[in-house]
Amino acid sequence: MNTSELQQEIRRLCVERNALLLAHNYQRDEIQEIADITGDSLGLSMEAARTDKDVIVFCGVHFMAESAAILAPDKTVLLPRLDAGCPMADMVTAEGLRELKAQHPDATVVTYVNSSAAVKAESDICCTSSNAVNVARSLDAKKLLLVPDRNLGRYIARHVPEKECICWEGYCPTHDRLTVADIERARAEHPDALFMAHPECTPEVLALADHICSTSGMYAFARSSEARKFIVGTEMGILYRLRKENPDKEFILPSKALICPNMKLTSLEDVLRALQTMQPVVTVDAEIRQKAKTALDRMLAVPRD
Ligand code: 13P
Ligand code: SF4
């Protein structure tokens, strides 16, 4: 089957299976093209919880499908590629986090949604890149353990100087690869462009940003800004919708290294196979699910930036 036949067959099967097709903002263009909803990881999981469909096909990485399973336990959550993981989420385990908590019993654990369900279950509250600072500010605690992204952790710490912040040493290999030299080169070539950066970038890169935000925040900023040109400091998959929604504006990727191999694993063939076989299904153990849900629910009670 060619691309368009695959896309048509997937859409047909979505109707037959009563399935909702979700695609993260970093997925391949041909998948974003046919998704019911594209969005950031938490936004998509909330859509999974809201829908009246029976099946969720989650085109993203494993922790995202787990979040959908946590928030929508009555639905069948399919992850077309079970091997699509997140290296940053894998940099912390529940056991490792328990050890750190034992060293800092007075600290509140704030865990980025880019983490496994088991790690969320060990946490007091979750955060996303769009609400991290508000979450940290909402807490009475004087001491925070920020898990697992050291870059997001340092970004939070800068905004809550009144709190002691201990950052887990995890990072996103894709965002961490973006360098100051990449931004300086892009700026020299496009002096009229604004630089928007995801908080998973290093502090040195973030220091150069005109606007720091989540992937969803980038769509909003590109839409509302008067600027015509933007240097985009996040995974290249975001360009698809940025360009589609803003045909009169220019988006520049400052580095060819801004590609997440895990996000690009899922192909149309994988999505089709998942709908045909109703596999692989992602589930979360009931006890872990309940604890992880508590951490997510606490976060959902805090307003987004
Ligand atoms: P958001 O879409 O939540 O900003 O996440 C970025 C990311 O790296 C997801 O893997
Ligand atoms: Fe994980 Fe980074 Fe890939 Fe997102 S872009 S899935 S944080 S490795």
Task: Tell me what pLDDT residue 304 has.
Answer: 59
Cis peptide before 254 (omega within 30 of 0): no
Task: Please check whether residues 131 and 191 belong to one and the same domain.
Answer: no
Does the C-beta of 69 come closer than 6 Å to ligand 2?
A: no
Q: Are 291 and 166 part of one and the same domain?
A: yes
* pLDDT value at residue 42: 81
pLDDT of residue 305: 52
Question: 128: domain range?
Answer: 88-171+287-300
257 in a structural domain:
no
Residue 79 within a domain? yes
Q: Is 305 within a domain? A: no
Instruction: Summarize pLDDT for 208-245 with one digit per residue, the tens.
Output: 999 999 999 999 999 999 999 999 999 999 999 999 99
Q: How far apart are CA 242 and CA 247, in angstroms?
A: 8
131 carries a ligand binding annotation: no
List pLDDT tens digits, range 52-101.
999 999 999 999 999 999 999 999 999 999 999 999 999 999 999 999 99
pLDDT band at residue 18 using 50, 70 and 90 as cut-offs: very high
Both 22 and 70 in one domain: the answer is yes
112: number of Cβ within 10 Å: 31
Tell me, yes or no, whether 258 lies in a domain: no
pTM: 0.95
* CB hemisphere CA count around 60 (13 angstroms): 29
Burial class (CB in 10 A: 0-12, 13-18, 19+), 204: exposed
Q: Tell me the CA–centroid distance for residue 171 and ligand 2, in Å.
A: 9
Question: Across all residues in the chain, what is the average pLDDT?
Answer: 96
Q: Sign of dihedral through CA atoms 70, 73, 79, 82?
A: positive
Q: How far apart (Å, rounded) are the C-alpha atoms in residues 14 and 31?
A: 13
Give the domain CATH number at 229: 3.40.50.10800
Q: Are residue 8 and residue 73 in the same domain, yes or no?
A: yes
Nearest CA to ligand 2 atom 2: 172
- In a 10 Å sphere around its CB, with 0-12 CB exposed, 13-18 middle and 19+ buried, how is residue 115 labelled? buried
Beta-ladder partners of 250: 229
Residues 206 and 245 grouped into a single domain: yes
Ligand 1 atom closest to 235 (CA): 8
Q: How many domains does the chain have?
A: 3
CA 126 – ligand 1 centroid, Å:
14
Give the burial class of 179: count Cβ atoms within 10 A of its Cβ; 0-12 exposed, 13-18 middle, 19 or more buried.
middle
- Cα 201 to middle of ligand 2, angstroms: 11
What is the best residue among 260, 264, 265 to mutate for testing ligand 2's pocket, by most ligand atoms within 8 Å of CB? 260
User: Is there a single domain that holds both residue 104 and residue 241?
Assistant: no
Neighbouring C-beta atoms of residue 66, cutoff 10 Å: 27
Separation of alpha carbons 239 and 259, rounded Å: 11
Tally Cβ neighbours within 10 Å of residue 32. Answer: 19
Query: Would residue 19 count as lying in a domain?
Result: yes
Task: Please count the other Cβ atoms lying within 10 Å of the Cβ belonging to residue 142.
Answer: 11
The verdict on 67 and 97 lying in the same domain is no
Separation of alpha carbons 130 and 91, rounded Å: 21
Cβ of residue 214 lying under 6 Å from some atom of ligand 1: yes
Q: What is the DSSP letter of 169?
A: S
Do 156 and 200 share a domain, yes or no? no
Q: How far apart are CA 65 and CA 20, in angstroms?
A: 13
Domain match, 153 and 166 both: yes
SS3 of residue 23 by DSSP: strand
Taking the CA of 149 as reference, the closest ligand is 2
112 annotated to a ligand binding site: yes
Q: What percent of the chain has pLDDT over 70?
A: 99
Asked whether residue 70 is assigned to any structural domain, the reply reads yes
Cα atoms in the 13 Å half-sphere on the side-chain side of 255: 22
Counting ligands in written order, the one closest to the CA of 87 is 2
The CB density around residue 71, as the number of other CB atoms within 10 Å, is 22
Asked whether residue 29 is domain-assigned, the answer is yes
Same-domain check for residues 16 and 68: yes
Q: State which H helix or E strand residue 152 sits in.
A: helix 150-159
Tokens 């995890």, located at residue: 170
Domain co-membership, 71 together with 220: no
| Residue 178 in this model has a pLDDT that exceeds 70 | yes
Residues 6+ apart with CB under 8 A from 268: 3, 6, 7, 10, 30, 31
Is any ligand 1 atom within 6 A of the Cβ of residue 114?
yes
- Is 27 a pocket residue for ligand 1 (Cβ < 6 Å)? no
Any residues with CB less than 8 A from the CB of 301 and at least 6 apart, and which? none
- State whether residue 225 is helix, strand or coil: coil
* Residue 302 in this model has a pLDDT that exceeds 80: yes
Q: Tell me if 202 CB under 6 Å of ligand 1.
A: no
User: 24 and 163 share a domain?
Assistant: no
